[in-house]
Structures are given as structure tokens and as C-alpha cells.
């Protein structure tokens, strides 16, 4: 039961703006979400409807899970100082 990982257009732009080494780390985390959309260390964001975040160093990946459709939609990728704004 593999999920499809989709990036919102804004998340895709944010990913492309990162350094190449960081991009590779983030992409490997995104690929891991295909098999387990709720990995160890995931947190549900307070005050938001069904948004989750995972950490990769100082970077955060914000996403929502559509279990009925088997889709993980990534809405934001960025440094922890900016991603929650």
C-alpha cells in the first residue's frame, strides 16, 4: 500500500531554491513518506487541520495525508525559522 507523494507548486519552488545537498536529503525523506506517511518523529501541527511536519536538520517538511486516496500532499518545505509563517 504505497502512497503517492505530490508537491504543491509552491513546495516545488521552495525545494528547487535549496542547496543541492539539502535537496537530496529532502527528496530521500519524501520518498520514505511513500511507504510510511507517519514516520517516527512526525508531529501533527496544532491549530491546523490535518497538517503534519517532519524534520531534517533545520529544515521542515509540512504536509497533509489523504488516506482514502493514498496521497501525501507536501505544502511547504523550508528552514524552521521561516516555514511556519
For the stretch 52-65, pLDDT in tens is: 999 999 999 999 99
Looking at the chain, which runs of residues are DSSP E strands?
Answer: 4-7, 43-44, 51-56, 59-66, 71-79
84 located within any domain: no
Indicate which CATH number applies to the domain containing 46.
Answer: 3.30.2310.20
pLDDT in tens, 13-43: 999 999 999 999 999 999 999 999 999 999 9
Q: What is this structure's pTM?
A: 0.92
State the Cα angle at 3 between 84 and 6, rounded to 5°: 50
Number of domains in the chain: 1
Residues of the domain holding 17: 4-79
Inside any domain, residue 14: yes
Q: Is 85 among the domain residues?
A: no
Q: Is residue 54 part of a domain?
A: yes
Amino acid at each position: 500500500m504505497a502512497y503517492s507523494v505530490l508537491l504543491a507548486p509552491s513546495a516545488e519552488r521552495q525545494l528547487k531554491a535549496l542547496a543541492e545537498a539539502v535537496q537530496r536529503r529532502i527528496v530521500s525523506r519524501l520518498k520514505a513518506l511513500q511507504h510510511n506517511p507517519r514516520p517516527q518523529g512526525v508531529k501533527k501541527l496544532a491549530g491546523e487541520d490535518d497538517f503534519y511536519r517532519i524534520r531534517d536538520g533545520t529544515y521542515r517538511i509540512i504536509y497533509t495525508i489523504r488516506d482514502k486516496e493514498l496521497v501525501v500532499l507536501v505544502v511547504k518545505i523550508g528552514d524552521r525559522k521561516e516555514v511556519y509563517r
